[in-house]
Homo-oligomer: A and B are copies of this chain.
Amino acid sequence: MNTLAVTDGQVLRPDHSIERTDVLIDTDDGTIEALGEFDEPADEQLDATGGLVIPGLVNAHTHVAMTLFRGAADDKPLDAWLQEDIWPVEAELTGEDVRAGARLGIAEMIRSGTTAIADMYFFMPEVAAVVEEAGIRARLGHGCITVGKDDEAAHEDFEAGLEFAREYNNTADGRVKTLFTPHSLTTVDKQFYEEYIPKAHDAGIPVHIHANETTQEVEPLVDEYGKRPLEYADDLGILTEETFLAHGVHVDETERELLAERGTSVVHCPASNMKLASGMAPIQKLHDAGVTVALGTDGAGSNNDLDMFDEMRDAAMIGKLAEDDASAVPADAVIDMATKAGAETLGFDSGRLEEGANADLAVLDLDSLHLMPQHDLVSHLVYAARGSDVRHTVCDGQVLMEDRELQTLSADDVMAEASEHATELFARAE
């Protein structure tokens, strides 16, 4: 057994206690071998002195290549933003652009302690290649849509989605798993759900869609079918334990109970929901109903960063506003959303620093002005820390960042490549 020891840090345990202990990693299989003090020196050491060791954060909903759109169009509502700014440029996207954008986004996430993502976009083999190269863990799906397409083109799109999901599942030593990702309940014709959801289930591929993000995604379905969107989704067989829904902003009590009953998770994207004025998801109510809620940044076009520390803070903040109650969505619940619940949603045995779990972790530097004094490190993780406090990032037992230096990607190359692709992409779309 080859080993890596993360030494001399304080370790955040699944019960939110914090323990001074080392973490011994079996680097052959990428799991945590043990926590404790060890007599034998490990093959490699990662110094966590003065630091806090936390599970690698899970970004359970993003469109990583959209880093290329960061700051290109702000201060617009979802519909106008998609139709006027995003879709015309996306029409010009190439696989090389997606690769450059994915490298940028994944590098940014490694630098801010994220080790697992769920990504829905186009040219997904490119994203899979970057995930493999960068060393993180991912659930990837080709986003399928029928709006604006004739029947043949829509079928091609859905077949491509299914083919990607089958071909790439369990690649990159198991770090890449796949998803079947129809875009949303209103941008995909009912017949395509009827045709393809059973195929995804048969192939054992989890379904991930946008749902109930804005009121415009609720009303048309209520008007047409006389049902709430998630009742409609349930009729189509979408709501299973493996399925997870992005956003879930406008979910009523019936829908929350339905989610709990089916074991379907929701991925909360607070920054995107605020920036696009989509609304405030009822996170405390979802928790109270027993729904698993993960956390995601959404794409950098509507956030505009991929820093899960921002997202944790936003989730706590907006969660309180939504309930008109400052005790709602407390810090420990938010940490669970970004770790345990995220990993559970994506189906990875990560998100917890325990023997046997995947060795996916981040080490934060605590020796900073904005993290003093240290009455409560759980509070600091949510309300005061930020991605730039992450010193080391480890995924699957491999060190992806050490002392803020990326190990699997070159930050300079990634930035230069992304800037060039963004400039050329937007020039083509002019």
Contacts and interface: CB of A to CB of B under 8 A. Distances in A.
Nearest to A388: B388
B75 A275 contact: no
Given A107-B369, A275-B320, A375 B426 contact: yes
Contacts of A76: 326-327
Taken together, the copies of this chain in the complex come to 2
Interface string A85-109: 0000000000000000000100110
Nearest to A406: B369
A389 B327 CA distance: 32
A133 to B, nearest CB: 16
A299 interface: no
27 contacts: A70-B380, A71-B383, A71-B384, A72-B375, A74-B330, A74-B383, A75-B326, A77-B326, A77-B327, A81-B326, A104-B369, A111-B369, A111-B370, A274-B320, A275-B316, A275-B383, A277-B325, A277-B328, A303-B383, A304-B379, A305-B370, A307-B370, A307-B386, A372-B422, A374-B419, A375-B426, A386-B386
Given A70-B375, A71-B383, A303-B383, 5 more contacts: A72-B376, A74-B331, A104-B369, A304-B380, A367-B415
A370 B330 contact: no
A227 B326 CA distance: 28
A418 B274 contact: no
A78 interface: yes
A215 B302 CA distance: 32
A238 B209 CA distance: 54
The 9 closest A-B pairs by CB, nearest first: A373-B422, A71-B379, A274-B317, A304-B383, A75-B330, A388-B388, A277-B326, A77-B326, A277-B320
Given A277-B324, A305-B383, A386-B388, A67 B375 contact: no
Contacts of A328: 75, 277
A4 to B, nearest CB: 25
